[in-house]
Amino acid sequence: MPPFALGLVLVAAVLHATWNLCAKRAGGGLPFVWLVGALICAGYVPVLAVYWTRDHPTLPAGAIAWILGSGVIKTAYALFLQRGYRTGDFSLIYPLARGTGPLLSTFGAIALLGERPSLLAIAGGSLIITAIFFLTGGPQLFHRSRAHLRHAVAYGAMSGVLIATYTLWDRHGVARLGVPPLLYDAGTAFTQLALLTPFAFRRRAEVAAEWRDKKRWALAVALLSPVAYVLVLTALAVAPVSYVAPAREVSIVIGTFLGAKLLKEADGRRRIWAAVAVAAGVIALALG
């Protein structure tokens, strides 16, 4: 991976872990997701005006349809992720979602994009699978008393599936179609807002309550989330997805540590070690 792309990915990883911690603190649902989307879009309006006036960018054929598709996938991701954070611990959901995502992204890159990771990358994937098993409690996960934990794991795993889906989708958008990363992310943000607005309007009293009680978390997520992902999209434009997707998951260790130490969540030591193993696996994927 080019050093420039690696630097972008590492900065994005820190920002990503931080905004996810803020989302966990908020503990919101659809009204919170809509509120964050509205703030992101409001921030994008002046940025896009300056960018469009200065650079006069053009969109390639098929770009709008691809951006709309990305917005649909990310809307589902945002809703599943928030439900996971409301159901389970941050130090469980975050590494589960982020570890599942790059693993599936790599498999998808092999099957759909023709990329061929090495044996080291395959070993890294196997390590991720093993680490996730212990992260979620191993055999105890199937105990009858752990039904609530299984629900949380399901939401986290589905978030990971959607991460893998939009990573591959967006790689095609910025690398194959050549859509500028800034326009791409802004387009998906406006798509998300449009999809959620009819539902948020019917729950506008809840939206107002979210703004009153959780505005600092909403503002933090709205600021950090797009910056982090524009950095990732820029890296995807110059480096293979099977390298970028795993390398950005250094945020797994950061996020799990924050959940265990700042939020005082249970099983912190085991989850941190499992997260370190997941991170080692994604590094192997990146090096492979």
56: alpha, beta or left? (left if phi > 0; alpha if psi -120 to 50): left
Domain of residue 128: give its range: 3-287
Do residues 265 and 90 make contact, with C-beta atoms less than 8 angstroms apart? yes
39-53, 110-124, 140-154, 273-287: which is most confident: 39-53
Residue 119 carries which DSSP code? H
The answer to whether the CB of 201 falls within 8 A of the CB of 89 is: no
Please write the tens of the pLDDT for every residue from 146-158: 566 777 888 888 9
The segment with the largest mean pLDDT, out of 48-52, 127-131, 196-200, is 196-200
pLDDT band at residue 196, thresholds of 50, 70 and 90?
Answer: very high
Least confident residue range of 4-13, 118-127, 162-171, 211-220: 118-127
The string of pLDDT tens digits covering residues 67-109 is 999 999 999 999 999 998 888 888 888 888 877 766 776 677 6
113 pLDDT higher than 70: no
> Between vectors from CA 146 to CA 272 and to CA 157, what angle results, nearest 5°?
60
Q: What is the pTM of this model?
A: 0.80
Most confident of the ranges 19-23, 110-114, 115-119, 150-154: 19-23
CA gap 184, 207 in Å, rounded: 27
> DSSP labels for 51-89?
HHHHH---PPTTHHHHHHHHHHHHHHHHHHHHHHHHHS-
- Secondary structure (3-state) at 16: helix
User: Number of structural domains, the chain?
Assistant: 1
